[in-house]
Amino acid sequence: QVPLVESGGGSVQAGGSLRLSCAVSTYTASRYYMGWFRQAPGKEREGVAGIDTSGSTIYADSVKGRFTISQDNAKNTLYLQMNSLKPEDTAMYYCAAGWGFLHSGWLLQRGSYPYWGQGTQVTVSS
């Protein structure tokens, strides 16, 4: 088991920014591929951004140019910087992780991840 704890969610007006953090409780965080997912009420959980063990990233089309995924291996922390937020970004955001190598094409697939955090709520008002 890999405990993941998200933080940084909140309420913001459209056009604003938030930075989500995910603390990874393992000494080998750099050996995990990781991703951010979100789930709005009544909708499926969808991949937002992913990063593999080499640092390569991938984004959903809906957030490209607005969101940035990054990680600080020294702090065992994953981040999601969200700019130019829109009301349709409102959702519960989840951090997820998996061990080893994963082709980048699979980083936004929910089934690729065995480990999940509890989520942090992001609400964007118009």
3-state class (DSSP) for residue 30: helix
Looking at residue 61, its pLDDT comes to: 98
Question: Which among 11, 89, 104, 13 is positioned nearest to 46, based on CA atoms?
Answer: 89
Q: What is the mean pLDDT of each run of 10 residues along the chain (126 residues)?
A: 93 98 81 95 96 94 98 90 98 95 92 96 97
Rama region for 101: left / alpha / beta (φ>0; ψ in -120 to 50; rest)? beta
Looking at residue 27, its pLDDT comes to: 65
Q: Exposure string (b/e) for 83-109, b if CB count within 10 Å is 16 or more?
A: eebeeebbbbbbbbbbeeebeeebbbe
